[in-house]
């Protein structure tokens, strides 16, 4: 038997074409999609679809779901963290954050990650597989249903490196924007990357309106390679050039993520060097006190260090802020909940 296809990763025109090709009426595709959007988990639940078509769909396609295995709610704010299981039993994490301008969700793009950043819980757990577009959508749909809210912004900052799974991510962005679907436009999507340079050019060439966030975490290659193996393949100079190109191609300001690790990358000298590297760029620096991950030995920079770093960048004309930490009591940054779950015998 041939392997079943992932129906939720198909666009409406693709499904229409498939059904027509197989002798079904075109409008059935729309009906099928409506059921899928309602979150049905089997074709049997599609009440207004004739039995024959349901059977056809069932032999040919599968419906991917993200099932809530664990849910943690912050006592301090409304941040919710989910551990989802997928059809094949893999686990991924996602976080929902409420701001006054809307509800934002941080989703995963891979099960694990190949990039091996030393401060990251996901990086420490290795790589299992890419997520399909529908598995990225399924995280948002599950949270919307569970919390009864509309997610207005999406950040690809959960587990995984989105540019290492660009094909599926591009399809996800397309499906996300569908008016009858989640209807989340590219401008409301942020993709965070550790800096895979050729893929940044590829993304820029698509001229999408998504926001690009680049995990820099160091002012130079010498420090960067200590925590990010990817820096060996793509030196910072090339990375910054690609970021400039992204801005020129899309007009979207690039954000740099900078996790502040005590004694590693947080001195005033580091701040001055970073400022000089970023001079003249239309960018924003997001400083994040590093989250402690068991076994790394890294500690977050203290408040004075954080403030001093921001001040130096700002004085040199670089927009910089320390990111407000939401859900600090449940935060275990992405990857940690899964590690804990597996350790406790969840898998």
Find the catalytic residue in 106, 113, 176, 334. 334
Q: Least CB distance from residue 122 to ligand SF4, whole Å?
A: 4
- Shorter beta-carbon distance to ligand SF4: residue 8 or 338: 338
Q: At a CB cut-off of 8 Å and minimum separation 6, what does 3 contact?
A: none
Interacting residues with ligand SF4 between 196 and 215 (CB under 6 A): 215
Beta strands in 87-210 (DSSP E): 91-99, 102-106, 110-112, 127-130, 153-156, 189-193
Interacting residues with ligand SAH between 238 and 267 (CB under 6 A): 257, 259
Interacting residues with ligand SF4 between 214 and 233 (CB under 6 A): 215
Distance, CA of 137 to CA of 43 (rounded, Å): 18
Distance, CA of 144 to CA of 102 (rounded, Å): 13
Nearest residue to ligand SF4, by Cβ distance, number only = 123
Binding mask 103-122 for ligand SAH (x = CB under 6 A): --------------x-xx--
Q: Least CB distance from residue 181 to ligand SAH, whole Å?
A: 24
Which helix (H) or strand (E) is 212 found in, with range?
strand 211-215
Binding mask 130-159 for ligand SAH (x = CB under 6 A): ---------------------------x--
Distance, CA of 136 to CA of 9 (rounded, Å): 9
Distance, CA of 347 to CA of 342 (rounded, Å): 5
3-state helix, strand, coil in the chain (%, to 5): 40, 20, 40
**191-to-1, 173, 210, 216, 256 alpha-carbon distances in Å:** 37, 10, 7, 14, 11
Distance, CA of 188 to CA of 286 (rounded, Å): 18
Distance, CA of 219 to CA of 22 (rounded, Å): 57
In the residue annotation, 93 being an active-site residue is answered as: yes
In the residue annotation, 176 being an active-site residue is answered as: no
Q: Least CB distance from residue 263 to ligand SAH, whole Å?
A: 15
**307-to-39, 144, 184, 326 alpha-carbon distances in Å:** 45, 36, 35, 19
- Shorter beta-carbon distance to ligand SF4: residue 141 or 161: 161
Interacting residues with ligand SF4 between 73 and 132 (CB under 6 A): 113, 115-117, 120, 122-123
Q: Least CB distance from residue 291 to ligand SAH, whole Å?
A: 4
Region near ligand SAH per CB under 6 A, out of 134-142, 290-298, 313-321, 324-332: 290-298
Q: For residue 212, report the phi and psi dihedrals to the nearest 5 degrees.
A: -110, 130
**103 is written with which tokens?**
């509800």
- Shorter beta-carbon distance to ligand SAH: residue 171 or 300: 300
Find the catalytic residue in 93, 135, 141, 161. 93
Q: Least CB distance from residue 264 to ligand SAH, whole Å?
A: 12
**Residues engaged in binding ligand SAH (CB under 6 A):** 117, 119-120, 157, 161, 192-194, 215, 257, 259, 288, 290-291, 293, 333
Annotated catalytic sites, by residue? 93, 334
**Residues engaged in binding ligand SF4 (CB under 6 A):** 113, 115-117, 120, 122-123, 160-161, 194, 215
């Amino acid at each position: 038997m041939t392997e079943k296809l992932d129906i939720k990763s198909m666009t409406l025109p693709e499904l229409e074409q498939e059904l027509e090709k197989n002798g079904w009426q075109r409008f059935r595709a729309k009906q099928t999609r409506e059921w899928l959007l309602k979150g049905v988990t089997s074709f049997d639940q599609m009440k207004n679809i004739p039995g024959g078509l349901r059977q056809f769909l069932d032999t040919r396609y599968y419906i991917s779901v993200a099932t809530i295995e664990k849910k943690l709610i912050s006592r301090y704010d409304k941040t919710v963290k989910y551990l989802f299981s997928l059809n094949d039993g893999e686990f991924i994490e996602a976080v929902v954050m409420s701001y006054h301008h809307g509800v934002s969700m941080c989703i995963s793009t891979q099960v694990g990650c190949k990039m091996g950043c030393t401060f990251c819980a996901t990086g420490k757990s290795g790589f299992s597989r890419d997520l399909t577009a529908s598995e990225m959508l399924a995280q948002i749909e599950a949270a919307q249903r569970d919390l009864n809210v509309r997610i207005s912004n999406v950040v690809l900052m959960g587990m995984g490196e989105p540019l290492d799974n660009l094909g599926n991510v591009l399809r996800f962005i397309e499906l996300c924007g569908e008016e009858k679907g989640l209807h989340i436009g590219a401008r409301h999507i942020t993709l965070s990357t550790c800096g895979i340079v050729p893929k940044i050019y590829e993304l820029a060439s698509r001229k999408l309106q998504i926001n690009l966030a680049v995990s820099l975490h160091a002012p130079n290659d010498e420090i960067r390679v200590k925590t990010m193996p990817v820096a060996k393949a793509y030196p910072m100079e090339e990375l910054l050039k690609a970021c400039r190109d992204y801005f020129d191609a899309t007009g979207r300001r690039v954000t740099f993520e900078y996790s502040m690790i005590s004694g590693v990358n947080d001195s005033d000298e580091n701040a001055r060097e970073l400022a000089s590297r970023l001079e003249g760029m239309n960018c924003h620096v997001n400083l994040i006190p590093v989250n402690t991950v068991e076994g790394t030995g890294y500690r977050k920079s203290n408040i004075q260090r954080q403030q001093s770093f921001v001040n130096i960048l700002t004085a040199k004309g670089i927009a910089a802020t320390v990111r407000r930490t939401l859900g600090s009591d449940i935060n275990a940054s992405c990857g940690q909940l899964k590690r804990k779950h597996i350790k406790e015998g969840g898998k």
